Amino acid sequence: MAIESHLAELEKRHQALEHEISEALHHPSIDDLTLLELKRRKLYVKDEIARLRQDVLVH
């Protein structure tokens, strides 16, 4: 059960980052480095979700 709750939390974080990136794209004051960092964090969370799902399938 712990893995499922962790996956749910990661999915929420991924969605929040997606929303934050979308909002940032609508503000011309956002600098490229900040946007790049948000995208990097989103990709990291996505990779972590994929890794956990793979672990669940293997076990």
Tell me the pLDDT tens digit for each residue of 10-26: 999 999 999 999 999 99
Tell me the pLDDT tens digit for each residue of 29-42: 889 999 999 999 99
For residues 42 and 16, what is the distance between their CA atoms, to the nearest angstrom? Answer: 9
1 pLDDT tier (thresholds 50, 70, 90): low
Q: Structural domain of residue 24, as residue ranges?
A: 2-58
- The pLDDT, as a whole number, for residue 23 is 94
Residue that has been written with the tokens 């609508």 in this structure: 26
Q: What angle do CA 34, 38, 42 make, to 5 degrees?
A: 170
For residues 57 and 54, what is the distance between their CA atoms, to the nearest angstrom? Answer: 5
Please state the domain count of the chain: 1
- The pLDDT, as a whole number, for residue 12 is 98
Asked whether residue 59 carries a pLDDT value surpassing 80, the answer given is no
